[in-house]
Structure 1
Amino acid sequence: MDLDIQPVRLSLSNYRDVKQLYQRAFPKYEREPWSWMMLKSKFKQADFMAFYDQNQFVGFSYVIHSHGFHYILFLAVNDQLRSQGYGSRIIAQLRTLYPSDSLVLDIEQPDPSAKNNRQRLRRLAFYKRNGFYLTPKKLEEDQMTYRVLATKKHINQHKVDRVFEWFSWPLGWFIQ
């Protein structure tokens, strides 16, 4: 059964729950400014969606549309409902919403010396079970190296770099 989808807006009944889940699910160095995400989601290049199962808030996704693919910038499942299949259901729903193009996302690169390496490996296995492939593309940031995964085996790595031009703070405001 499909999940119900609502755009994340101030008027959303679970707006505060979405924001709190975002803050719990992602470390501060990975988060984007909330107000920037809300602003950018008003444009057709991004979808900020809350997912519901029979009126129960189960999670959210933030997807940027660019260069022939859909970049899942954030996806989180309600902490009280994890390991119940909701992450897979959200991904299945995203694949239905965007059937012809690849879904792309990044995860922390597995690293045996990382404290959370077990979590990183579980996350990689989860996405592989849900039809994602590891690509050769890596994103290097100050505190972390991320691996890019996609639902198509081959993606244009240069286009992955360009997806963030529109979203980036503050210059992304001018790129539409």
Structure 2
Amino acid sequence: MTLRTQPVTPRLPEYRQVKQLYYRAFPKYEQESWRRLMFKRLFWRADFIAFYDEQQLVGFTYLVHHHGIHYLLYLAVNDQVRSQGYGSRILQTTRQRYPGETIVLDIEQLDPAAANNQQRQRRLSFYRSNGFELTDRLTPTADVTYQMLSNTSEVDHRKVDDMFAWFNGRTFGK
């Protein structure tokens, strides 16, 4: 059964639930400002989508778009329904929304010394089981190094860089 979707706006009845889930689901160092996310979704280059199974909020995604590449910045499943297949269903619905197009995302790079390495391995297994594969793109930050996954074998990294430039308020490359 397909999940029902709704854009996340302040008028969404579950708006506060989505916001609370966002703050619970992601560590502070991965969180963008909520105001910024809400502002950027006003443009055609970002979608903030809530997912429902009938009337139950099961999760959300936040995607940034640039010329056929869709960066999955956030995917969260409602804590009350985790481990029931909703993450896979959300990804399936997202892939159906952009057939034949590239969807990329970042996960924390596997690191045997990391306290959460088992969680990182489970996350990689989850995405692999949903058709995503590791790329060679690494993004080191002060807190962690991320590795990009994609649902296609080829990724135009220049488009990815331009997408991040837009999202971060910088100008595009030439």
- The TM-score normalised by the length of structure 1 is 0.94
How far, CA to CA, are the matches of 2:165 and 2:5 in structure 1? 27
How far, CA to CA, are the matches of 2:78 and 2:15 in structure 1? 13
Shift of 1:68: 2.0
The letter of the residue matching 2:18 is V
RMSD over aligned Cα, in angstroms?
1.2
How far, CA to CA, are the matches of 1:131 and 1:114 in structure 2? 25
Tell me which residue corresponds to 2:26.
Answer: 26
How far, CA to CA, are the matches of 1:30 and 1:140 in structure 2? 13
How far, CA to CA, are the matches of 2:52 and 2:79 in structure 1? 14
How far, CA to CA, are the matches of 2:13 and 2:145 in structure 1? 36
Tell me which residue corresponds to 1:78.
Answer: 78
How far, CA to CA, are the matches of 2:75 and 2:102 in structure 1? 16
How far, CA to CA, are the matches of 1:125 and 1:55 in structure 2? 29
Residue segments in structure 1 that go unaligned for 5+ positions in a row:
none
Q: How does 1:113-132 map to 2 (within 5 A)?
A: 113-132=113-132
How far, CA to CA, are the matches of 1:54 and 1:128 in structure 2? 27
Shift of 1:110: 0.8
Tell me which residue corresponds to 2:54.
Answer: 54
How far, CA to CA, are the matches of 2:140 and 2:160 in structure 1? 13
SS in structure 2 at match of 1:5: strand
Tell me which residue corresponds to 1:43.
Answer: 43
Any idea what the Cα deviations from partners look like across 1:100-123, whole Å, max 9, x if unmatched? 211100000110011100000000
The letter of the residue matching 1:117 is N
How far, CA to CA, are the matches of 2:122 and 2:116 in structure 1? 10
The letter of the residue matching 2:4 is D
Q: How many residues align?
A: 172
The letter of the residue matching 1:18 is V
How far, CA to CA, are the matches of 1:98 and 1:136 in structure 2? 23
**2:110 is equivalent to residue 110 of structure 1:** yes
Any idea what the Cα deviations from partners look like across 1:45-104, whole Å, max 9, x if unmatched? 010000000110000000001132100000000011111000000000001101121110
- The TM-score normalised by the length of structure 2 is 0.96
How far, CA to CA, are the matches of 1:38 and 1:157 in structure 2? 26
Q: Taking every aligned residue pair, what percent have the same amino acid on both sides?
A: 54
Shift of 1:154: 1.7
How far, CA to CA, are the matches of 1:11 and 1:25 in structure 2? 22
How far, CA to CA, are the matches of 2:39 and 2:146 in structure 1? 26
The letter of the residue matching 1:115 is A
SS in structure 2 at match of 1:76: strand
How far, CA to CA, are the matches of 2:111 and 2:29 in structure 1? 18
